[in-house]
């Protein structure tokens, strides 16, 4: 078996369940118990691996009957998701997070491989090699937001 950490294993498990349905509802404590980890580890996996830039919407309810609902969303067919991505980007975004967004759009077949690679080239740190990292992140955000707005109109 590959040398994978527990976060990768939990992520794979949740994605395997999601493969059978568009949405799952889990109890954080039950998953934590199943993998013999603390519940905060489940929170970490969900926060870092199941977020809007990766094509997931997460909803949670706290308390005894609480749950975490994870839904895989089709990024192009849901204008609200594009709006959420634009809000997430804001006025700046780093290269790693930009890459995650483009990967999700490619995985959802919103972008072809060629389109995704062209966009990645445009937002790459080597392309946007400004002396000021803040300016680089701002330009990257403008490029991505412009692309997302164009995708709203994609036929």
Which residue from 23, 4, 3 is spatially nearest to 14, judged by alpha carbons? 23
Domains of the chain: 6-72 (3.30.56.130), 79-151 (1.10.1200)
What does the pLDDT read at residue 108? Answer: 83
pLDDT band at 64 (very low <50, low <70, confident <90, very high): low
**What stretches of the chain show up as alpha helix (H) in DSSP?**
6-20, 28-35, 39-49, 79-89, 95-107, 113-123, 133-151
Winning range, highest mean pLDDT, from 4-8, 10-14, 68-72, 104-108: 10-14
Q: Tell me which DSSP letter residue 125 carries.
A: T
pLDDT band at 3 (very low <50, low <70, confident <90, very high): low
Q: Averaged over 80-93, what is the pLDDT?
A: 90
Q: Are 85 and 148 in contact (CB under 8 A)?
A: yes
Average predicted confidence (pLDDT) for the chain? 87
Task: Give the containing element (helix H, strand E) for 26.
Answer: strand 23-26
pLDDT band at 1 (very low <50, low <70, confident <90, very high): very low
pLDDT band at 62 (very low <50, low <70, confident <90, very high): confident
Q: What is the pTM of this model?
A: 0.64
């Amino acid at each position: 078996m590959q040398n994978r950490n527990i976060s990768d294993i939990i992520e794979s498990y949740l994605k395997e369940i999601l493969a059978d349905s568009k949405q799952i509802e889990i109890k954080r404590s039950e998953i934590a118990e199943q993998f013999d980890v603390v519940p905060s580890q489940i929170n970490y996996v969900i926060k870092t691996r199941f977020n809007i830039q990766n094509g997931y919407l997460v909803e949670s309810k706290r308390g005894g009957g609480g749950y975490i609902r994870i839904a895989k969303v089709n990024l192009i067919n849901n204008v609200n998701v594009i709006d959420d991505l634009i809000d997430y980007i804001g006025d700046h975004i780093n290269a790693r997070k930009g890459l995650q967004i483009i990967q999700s759009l490619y995985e959802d077949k919103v972008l072809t491989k060629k389109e995704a690679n062209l966009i990645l080239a445009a937002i790459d740190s080597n392309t946007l090699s400004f002396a000021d990292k803040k300016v680089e992140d701002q330009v990257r955000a403008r490029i991505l937001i412009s692309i997302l707005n164009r995708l709203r109109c994609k036929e």
